[in-house]
Each structure stands twice: as C-alpha cells, then as structure tokens.
Amino acid sequence: MQLAAIIVSLVLTVVGVALLARAIGQFVRYFKLGQPVPAGTRTDNPYQRSVTLVREFLGHTRMNRWGIVGFAHWFVAVGFLTLPPTLAQAFGQLFQADWVLPVIGGFLPFEMYTEFIGVMTVLGIAVLIVIRLLSLPSRPGRKSRFAGSKAGQAYFVEYVILTIGLAIYVLRGLEGALHHVDGYEAAYFASYPWSSPSRACRSARCRTWSTWPP
C-alpha cells in the first residue's frame, strides 16, 4: 500500500508539474502579444512596488469592498500561498509515516497556524462556492458580465482548493493519531477529533495503524 501511494503521488506530481510548465509557457506567449513598453517602466521604484504588492495582498483592499466575498477570499489566498509546507511534509510521510519538516515541523506556533489557516481556507472556499452557485448568470433575472462565459476552469480551481484544504485537515488529524493525540492539544486544536482513535478509528486495522510506531 505504501509503495502504491508513493508511485501514484510521484506520477501525479510529475503530471502536475508538466501542466504547470505548459500553463506558464502559455502565459508568456500571451504576454508577448502586447505592445512593448519603454525600458524601466515596469521595473522602476522597486521598493514602492514591493510595498504596494504586500499592502494590496495582505490588506486585500480591493476585494474587501465586496464584503463577505473579500473576507473569504483573503483566507483562501493566504492559505493557498502559505500551506505548501504541509504538502512538502506529506511527501516525506510517504516514505516515513511520522516524518515532520526540520525546525518548523514540531514548532507549536507553526502547527497552530496550519490548523487555523487550514480550517479557514476550507470555510472560505466553501463560502465562495456557495456564493457562486447562488449567483449563476444562468439564473432567471440575473444580469452578469459573465453571462454566456464558460465557468469550468473556475469550478475546477475552487474544488481543487477545497480538496487540498480538506486533505490538509485530515492529514493533520492522522499525524496526531501517529503522535498519540487522544484529546485536545493546542497543536491540534482543530483536527484533534480525527486524531483520537476512539473517534477517528473504529476498525481493528485503524486502531493498530494509529498506534504505529510502537
């Protein structure tokens, strides 16, 4: 089973990286279709540009004008960009079940951040999905600039983010089971119900797995 998980994960990773590289190439080709700009126009004043980038991203100043949409999107954006270390840790756990990232893997503030942002990312994308479904341009009486457009890619992105968020949440619970978390702990304050063998595991096989290694 472990070998199968390793093979499937690595194959999917290779496919994903290939698709990402292709998408980046497409973006570059599209960018080159534009007219050239004067030299330095896009690279002048790097400090101010960096400050603006950080302010606009962390403050979500434009998105927050949309109320709950901006609030939910903030958690999705922050989670999407800051939770990849959990995926890196998951890769290591393919080969060693109780492996954690060096230095930060067992760092309590990092674990609490992962728990909080992981849950809020799931809730945030769930809110955005519901809002999208309630605001479809195809609904009677709806007027939208997206009417007639294809929303397949948007749905794909939303459900991928939802799946990743849920996977991280479940993974945290399983990590807790391996570390014998049988109740509330600060490092697993959101996922500990999955960690408790009495709640998350009902079968003899699961109980045996959750106490490994001895």
Q: DSSP for 79-93, please give it.
A: HHHH-HHHHHHHHHH
**pLDDT tens digits along 13-46:** 999 999 999 999 999 999 888 888 787 777 788 8
Q: Is the peptide bond before 213 cis (omega within 30 degrees of 0)?
A: yes
Q: In this structure, what is the dihedral angle of CA atoms 32, 33, 36, 40, given to the nearest 10 degrees?
A: -40
Other CB atoms within 10 Å distance of the CB of residue 113: 14
Q: Is 118 exposed, middle or buried (0-12, 13-18, 19+ CB in 10 A)?
A: buried
The beta strand positions in 64-177, using DSSP E, are none
**pLDDT tens digits along 61-75:** 777 777 888 889 999
Asked whether 71 and 64 are in contact (CB, 8 A), the reply is: yes
The DSSP output letter for 190 is T
pLDDT of residue 197: 53
- Structural element, H or E, at residue 189: none
pLDDT of residue 209: 40
214: three-class secondary structure by DSSP? coil
Asked whether 201 and 208 are in contact (CB, 8 A), the reply is: no
Question: Is the pTM value of this prediction over 0.85?
Answer: no
pLDDT of residue 154: 81
pLDDT of residue 40: 73
Which stretches of the chain score pLDDT less than 70?
137-150, 196-214
> How many angstroms separate the CA atoms of 91 and 87, rounded?
6
pLDDT of residue 20: 92
Q: Which long-range contacts (CB under 8 A, 24 or more apart) does 208-213 make?
A: 209/177, 210/174, 210/177, 210/178, 211/180, 212/97, 212/178, 213/97, 213/98, 213/178
> How many angstroms separate the CA atoms of 93 and 208, rounded?
18
pLDDT of residue 145: 57
- In angstroms, what CA-CA distances link 159 with 94, 97, 122, 125? 24, 27, 10, 8
